[in-house]
Amino acid sequence: MRNDAELEVDPRWPKFDQARVLLLRGRLLRRARRPGAAATAFTEAEAIFNGYPVWAAMARDELTRVGRRRTNAHLTGTERRVVELVVTGMTNKQVAATLFMSHRTVESHVARAYRKLGIRSRAELMRATAG
């Protein structure tokens, strides 16, 4: 015989369904080339998906596709290490010597970090990582 407690509906489900609809709406808006509206839908969906890490990650991934949200969480481990050294004031050649890679590789990691964080200079990089 089933326990009645197993049959209870999670009170968060209506909000969960709303967030799923917002995620779908955002995807449709992104495909329709309406990034602002899509970003709004993804942001609302991510806020509602708090407590559902897999679904929240999907909303964050969609936000990155739209290009509206950039955070350190999206940097790879190597990019993060390169950025940490660049922020200390090291040149690309010094970072390369420290991490045993070519200065061109450091340049590419820095360029990708700039793109992911939505910044254009080392000064902006320092401000972005300070917060």
109-124: per-residue pLDDT in tens? 999 888 888 788 888 8
Within-domain flag for 80: yes
Q: What is the pLDDT of residues 58-107, one digit of tens each?
A: 888 888 888 754 455 578 888 889 999 999 999 999 999 999 999 999 99
Tell whether 58 and 24 lie within a shared domain.
Answer: yes
pLDDT at 75: 80
Among 66, 81, 107, the domain boundary falls at 66
Tell whether 100 and 126 lie within a shared domain.
Answer: yes
Tell whether 96 and 114 lie within a shared domain.
Answer: yes
CB count, 10 Å around CB of 39? 20
Q: Whole-angstrom Cα distance, residue 119 to residue 67?
A: 12
Tell whether 44 and 84 lie within a shared domain.
Answer: no
The DSSP symbol for 9 reads P
Tell whether 78 and 61 lie within a shared domain.
Answer: no
Q: How many CA atoms lie within 13 A of 9 on its CB side?
A: 7
Tell whether 44 and 92 lie within a shared domain.
Answer: no
The pLDDT confidence band at residue 126, using thresholds 50, 70 and 90, is confident
Q: Please state the domain count of the chain.
A: 2
* Residue 105's CATH number: 1.10.10.10
Report percent pLDDT > 70 for the chain.
Answer: 84
Among 43, 66, 89, the domain boundary falls at 66
Q: How many CA atoms lie within 13 A of 90 on its CB side?
A: 19
Q: Which long-range CB contacts under 8 A does 71-80 form with residues at least 24 apart?
A: 71/117, 72/117, 72/128, 72/129, 74/116, 75/113, 75/116, 75/117, 78/109, 79/109, 79/112, 79/113, 79/116
pLDDT at 52: 83
Among 24, 39, 66, the domain boundary falls at 66
Q: What is the pLDDT of residues 35-52, one digit of tens each?
A: 888 888 888 888 888 888
Tell whether 58 and 84 lie within a shared domain.
Answer: no
pTM for the complete prediction? 0.47
| Boundaries of domain holding 49 | 12-66
Within-domain flag for 6: no
Within-domain flag for 96: yes
What would the two tokens of residue 29 be? 């808006």
Within-domain flag for 61: yes
pLDDT at 51: 80
Contact 56, 50 (CB under 8 A): yes
What would the two tokens of residue 75 be? 């940097």
The DSSP symbol for 90 reads -
Does the pLDDT of residue 1 top 50, yes or no? no
What would the two tokens of residue 76 be? 């790879």
